[in-house]
Structure 1
């Protein structure tokens, strides 16, 4: 039986468990687009921006723990997607990006959207840099068959990846003999930790000292094990922003969040002030700037352990005293839990002070006058009560001040319910990626989006087209306010950060979504309640106080350090 390579590639993708593809088509990718559309197992969401389609694919992959597809045409389709691809790579998504090469080498003919093999190969760099982890350029049947085998092996490795598959238009329509797909055994990635001297030492120290577990997004699947471990050892927990909810933030063990919106100095003071009696165990984070603000650099005189499969990549971001376990966190915590359960525990209970603001601390009243702006803390209060506590919505915070307000004040009792991009910090990430979160969930997804990001890129029209329960809550202060406030805090001369007043409620309605205007707390609460009830794509324009300063002191201190250096 003969089959086109485009059809065979789609059957391979189906075989790998893909059920949703996001993209924007163009002439050089039509055969693949047609086959994706014909698929009975893969739904296609046709987006509005190439970067947005990758943001959507990445968020869908991370939220559902699946491989996702993004596709775009050659030339500008690829270049426009690069920010999304870099973000997906840094966030640990599993995305296959499909596009085209138009010619093998630059031939001097200057064809439309010319894309060469060299163009796409340069997207992969040494040491994990670049925009893609691996590139497959397919110009003939043999290259396709080899790529198909390599892709299956990569999927079976259980690693996260962002790969590019680039085919000439001619090869997409080439017919080949149909081959039966067979599973490739999944490979494990677990260092033998049971007999490790360091592992035995960790157990003894956990039982003897005050212990603090520092959890990142990579530890999300080990939450049940970690919960039992902290109960056995009377440990405290801090998380990175993406790790919020792995251990309920209402738990007595939870003492705060690091990185954006954190109180790093308070956390440092608590630990280093009693360094001889503390042990810190870090799991599932690269400890990037926005995840940690390099808090770990202050732990050079305490017992410090790091656990994660990417330990080699993180080693340079740890103090020299850190003991590293290169291990799958789920397997590691299972082994650790078993070892602890076999010990006689006599460790007394320890009271760990909560270092972050409590929910009741930020209730700010407004007078409900229709011509007033809303304090951002009022916005957070309503999101907490209505969207999170009552309706269990997924929440995403866009790059900018929304990062800080949400990470500092919102609390979660489940992992994976709060999404933000601390690795690349790309504006437009969740103004677009909100569609990827909303796809496949029965609960609404709410994006806390700055007006600057909303004007930069969004996928509201896509949500309208596919009837997704996505709500854009726009923090409208008519300014690139994080930049404006940052300049003030750095004692720099003011620069132009103003944005003309935009009616985002009208903007949403113009795109076919529901639109709501909120100038006070009651209007905002009514809007969120109505948007969640109606389950239509919605844009809520929230006029906020631009002079309210978010908890970004740690970020400013980091910038000052760079400037002083």
Structure 2
């Protein structure tokens, strides 16, 4: 039995049938029929953001913390173009979101009508797939397809552009189970012969390492559990990209810490010197590989990924396995166990001795101060005080992001939301809004830098309106910290426009938004300030004034391999008995 309804009603019905409970959006003329339908129902919550970029980042936070697709509803023209940054962010970090945009009526398309833009053309490079729907009878089917594409295979953003006359017109609603999805069915099971070969390589490896990424988290909690079982059973060391933190617990005995440009010394050295690298759900991005011709030069490389286009895209691998991480790990464990659960125990013991020696460098060591709050110390205290809480952490982009990844530990997947591939300043505040909407009783903290936070600060209005007790932990060095660091180390200390001379008073700003703020400068008062932030039952901005010229180490300089890292004074002294940041 078919159902007739308007296109606008189809949109809301399709969202309900897809299990959507939250939509982030901003109304405008080209989507008013849909907003009228949203008004007439109570099953889906609509979160009114203050900017369309904020809507997409909020949807990303929601999606990353729940495993469900985030949904965005915005108007035509500037509404759609404002969403482009979030779409690109989601594409690079493989976040499943569905964006619904309004469009001028079909008969006006191409006439440069008011708030008209070629949304499908503009967003084609920054979505997994997009559609312009000109026939109301095809609208419901297209929406169901968009959810299927966004969540199947390598996740990513999809977009549906809906002209206003299509929203008003009557059409036939198509149920989700009748939607056309057979044309996109990515391979989820890995080749058994290749997986058996990997089991053989595990048995023979002398210096192995698991290199894991966000694909493990995207595959679901079962994949993370299988990864943990495999790591514990083999006793292999494991490291991760920025996006993969939490797939294996930071408290786990085999954990080496984060990998890459600001990764830990022991993780980078293990990647450089290993003889077997098993890439599980990562894409060999440039922040991980460094200089490609010197990347892990003596290793056999295995790449497990559901996206066949990622295989051999950057690094040529010896054994590619296309498939869903969860399915591949399940088969790998079964095959390896059936072969006797063998590893090269003696060689592995020597490998761990070498790794333990690298750990003694203590690469995150820094010189603390009783006069000034060091950013590393601030994050250590935040970690210590919130450890064990039902906690989710988002970040902005910059030094604070890297310090958060270094000093905060995550034992579960989906607890760490950050912008990896695109490095989007302004991501963290709206992302924390999306996370808090999904987890209203959890502690949600956004670790921020003052410059990045200002890019989408208007979303504090969203937090106040929806009574979201998000905690904004701003490490304020009054600088564009990462830019300033590069200018110091690589551009002759020529600090070209890497600071602002007109920063706001963040406490007064908090009060202006209708929430609470506090400024802290004295290290002795830091714990009390963090506790006040956590105890307050509404949105809170904690302005932590930190050392202005602190650098984030370790750091692999551009063009250098993994075994050539800049270390800070304290850890360099531990390593080679000298002081000052040097290449070791």
TM-score, with length taken from structure 1: 0.88
TM-align CA RMSD:
2.8
Q: Secondary structure at the match of 1:317?
A: coil
Task: Within 5 Å, give how 1:186-205 maps onto structure 2.
Answer: 189-194=187-192, 196=193, 198-205=194-201
Compared CA separation, residues 261 and 517, structure 1 to 2 (3 A): same
Q: Give the CA deviation at 1:482.
A: 1.7
Q: Give the CA deviation at 1:232.
A: 2.3
Structure 1 alignment gaps of length 5 or more = none
Instruction: Decide whether the 8 Å contact of 1:397 with 1:430 is kept in 2.
Output: yes
2:285 alignment counterpart: 288
Instruction: Decide whether the 8 Å contact of 1:56 with 1:436 is kept in 2.
Output: yes
Question: Is 1:213 aligned with 2:214?
Answer: no
1:22 alignment counterpart: 24
Alpha-carbon distance between aligned partners in 1 of 2:246 and 2:560, rounded to the nearest angstrom = 26
Q: 1:340 aligns with which of 336, 341, 346?
A: 336
Task: Within 5 Å, give how 1:321-470 maps onto structure 2.
Answer: 321-345=317-341, 347=343, 348=345, 350=349, 351=352, 353=355, 362=365, 366-367=369-370, 373-387=372-386, 389-441=387-439, 442-458=441-457, 459-470=459-470
Q: Secondary structure at the match of 1:123?
A: helix
Q: Give the CA deviation at 1:373.
A: 3.7
Question: Is 1:182 aligned with 2:177?
Answer: yes
Q: Secondary structure at the match of 1:99?
A: strand
Compared CA separation, residues 475 and 338, structure 1 to 2 (3 A): same
Q: Give the CA deviation at 1:474.
A: 1.1
Compared CA separation, residues 110 and 212, structure 1 to 2 (3 A): closer
2:121 alignment counterpart: 122
Instruction: Decide whether the 8 Å contact of 1:244 with 1:257 is kept in 2.
Output: yes
Question: Is 1:162 aligned with 2:157?
Answer: yes
Instruction: Decide whether the 8 Å contact of 1:59 with 1:93 is kept in 2.
Output: no
Compared CA separation, residues 182 and 528, structure 1 to 2 (3 A): same
Q: Give the CA deviation at 1:260.
A: 4.3
Q: Give the CA deviation at 1:334.
A: 0.5
Q: 1:93 aligns with which of 79, 92, 95?
A: 95
Compared CA separation, residues 558 and 449, structure 1 to 2 (3 A): farther
Q: Which moved more, 1:177-186 or 1:251-260?
A: 177-186
Alpha-carbon distance between aligned partners in 2 of 1:44 and 1:392, rounded to the nearest angstrom = 25
Q: Which moved more, 1:155-164 or 1:421-430?
A: 155-164
Instruction: Decide whether the 8 Å contact of 1:258 with 1:292 is kept in 2.
Output: no
Compared CA separation, residues 34 and 107, structure 1 to 2 (3 A): closer
1:480 alignment counterpart: 480
Q: Give the CA deviation at 1:297.
A: 5.0
Q: Give the CA deviation at 1:314.
A: 4.0
Instruction: Decide whether the 8 Å contact of 2:259 with 2:288 is kept in 1.
Output: yes
Instruction: Decide whether the 8 Å contact of 1:357 with 1:408 is kept in 2.
Output: no
Compared CA separation, residues 20 and 356, structure 1 to 2 (3 A): farther
**Aligned pairs, how many?**
541
Alpha-carbon distance between aligned partners in 1 of 2:135 and 2:522, rounded to the nearest angstrom = 62
Q: 2:535 aligns with which of 528, 533, 536?
A: 533
2:568 alignment counterpart: none
Q: Give the CA deviation at 1:144.
A: 2.5
1:496 alignment counterpart: 497
Compared CA separation, residues 439 and 357, structure 1 to 2 (3 A): farther
Compared CA separation, residues 143 and 390, structure 1 to 2 (3 A): closer
Q: 1:46 aligns with which of 45, 48, 55?
A: 48
TM-superposition CA deviations, 1:83-129 (whole Å, max 9, x none): 011111222122111112215587886542123xxx1231354xxxx
Question: Is 1:137 aligned with 2:161?
Answer: no
Alpha-carbon distance between aligned partners in 1 of 2:270 and 2:4, rounded to the nearest angstrom = 68
Compared CA separation, residues 2 and 227, structure 1 to 2 (3 A): closer
Alpha-carbon distance between aligned partners in 2 of 1:540 and 1:205, rounded to the nearest angstrom = 50
Compared CA separation, residues 206 and 382, structure 1 to 2 (3 A): same
Alpha-carbon distance between aligned partners in 2 of 1:250 and 1:357, rounded to the nearest angstrom = 18
Instruction: Decide whether the 8 Å contact of 1:31 with 1:173 is kept in 2.
Output: yes
Q: Secondary structure at the match of 1:23?
A: strand
TM-score, with length taken from structure 2: 0.85
Instruction: Decide whether the 8 Å contact of 2:477 with 2:549 is kept in 1.
Output: no
1:36 alignment counterpart: 38
1:546 alignment counterpart: 548
1:113 alignment counterpart: 115
Task: Within 5 Å, give how 1:253-292 maps onto structure 2.
Answer: 253-263=254-264, 267-270=267-270, 272-273=272-273, 278-292=275-289
TM-superposition CA deviations, 1:221-261 (whole Å, max 9, x none): 31211222122222110111221222222222111211242
TM-superposition CA deviations, 1:327-384 (whole Å, max 9, x none): 11100000011112212245326325255689996586543xxxx5411111111111
Instruction: Decide whether the 8 Å contact of 2:29 with 2:75 is kept in 1.
Output: yes
Q: Which moved more, 1:98-107 or 1:351-360?
A: 351-360
Q: Give the CA deviation at 1:504.
A: 1.1
Q: Which moved more, 1:6-15 or 1:390-399?
A: 390-399
